[in-house]
Amino acid sequence: MDLSIIILNYKQKGLIKYCLKRLLSYSIPLEHEIIVVDNDSHDNIAEMMQNEFLRAKFIQAGKNRGYAAGNNVGIKNAKGKYILILNPDVTITEEAIIELYQFMETHPACGIAGPKIFNPDGSLQYTCLKFPDWKLPFYRRTFFGNTETGKKWNQDYQMADWDHTTDKKVEWLFGACFMVRKSALQTVGLLDENYFLYMEDLDWCRRFWENNWEVWYATKPTAIHFLHRQSAEANIIKILFSKTARTHLLSWLKYYYKFSIKDRSASGGRNKKLPQVEE
């Protein structure tokens, strides 16, 4: 099989329905399957899948163990040469799916490729980024991101000074929509289930690079992401009591410990060098 499209649901039944209707209306000239994994949503999605979407494979993951674990259930059941991880709030065209597939076919060293993603208003969404340092949670989740130093850090982190018009090897991609070479997982492994939400895509891309698989930003295929991210303009009290921000911070600490503290200990007190991405 050429392609497996994996969509993870957690209490997003309406978005899943809209997403599936679009995908099933396409005439994708590839042998493909659509897999919907439910993370214990209790939103009657099983009934909807049974009544309306028998062409898609439906899997109930059981207890909600997070984004990585839920997508891993789909990956383990996928038969495709390539796997398209697709958030239900992402709209991607038939042409873009084919273009991503063709990109993977013509770039045999590529382990992950992501499309150019836009916001609903047509503005560019910065979905290819540089590996972050310890400042990330402060400049992405607090008012410090609005300082001059924070703005400069974010501009560099988001590669905002690049015009995003040419295909480019990048350090990592947001996991809302990207295509993965399944054979690469033999060396890279699945998404790290120690992350409940956030950082699992960063972790995965880094492991792809460490195992000599490239990560690419492909500009011909495009998608629209109806993303809602908690504003960095929130005051510190709101941040401390925000479950989303706390989850992000916890995931960041797990990532930092995994790739900084452990690597430094294993290398005799020296920080492990980040994978090198050619400009």
Among 16-20, 134-138, 147-151, 224-228, top mean pLDDT goes to 16-20
pLDDT at 245 over 60: yes
Q: How far apart are the first and last CA of the chain?
A: 34
In percent, how much of the chain has pLDDT > 70? Answer: 89
- How far is it, in rounded angstroms, from Cα 54 to Cα 181? 26
Q: Give yes or no for a contact between 203 and 72, defined as CB atoms under 8 angstroms apart.
A: no
Per-residue confidence at 265, pLDDT binned at 50, 70, 90?
very low
Compute CA distances 171 → 60, 72, 141, 185, 202, whole Å: 33, 22, 21, 18, 9
Report the candidate in 26, 46, 155, 164 with the shortest Cα–Cα distance to residue 86: 26
Q: What average pLDDT score do residues 56-74 get?
A: 95
- What is the dotted CATH code of the domain comprising 3-134+144-230? 3.90.550.10
Average pLDDT, the chain: 89
State yes or no: pLDDT of 241 exceeds 70.
Answer: no
Cβ atoms of residues 219 and 166 within 8 Å? yes
Q: What is the mean pLDDT of residues 35-61?
A: 96
Q: Is the pLDDT of residue 235 over 80?
A: no
| Residue 274 confidence (pLDDT) | 59
Q: Among positive and negative, which fits the CA dihedral 78, 80, 84, 87?
A: negative
Report which of 85, 137, 111, 127 is spatially closest to residue 205, judged by C-alpha positions. 111
Res 12: pLDDT: 95
Q: pLDDT tens across 70-118, in order?
A: 999 999 999 999 999 999 999 999 999 999 999 999 999 999 999 999 9
User: Which of 240 and 260 is assigned the larger pLDDT?
Assistant: 260
Domain chopping of the chain, boundaries: 3-134+144-230
pLDDT at 273: 54
Closest to 191 in 3D by CA, of 182, 200, 183: 200
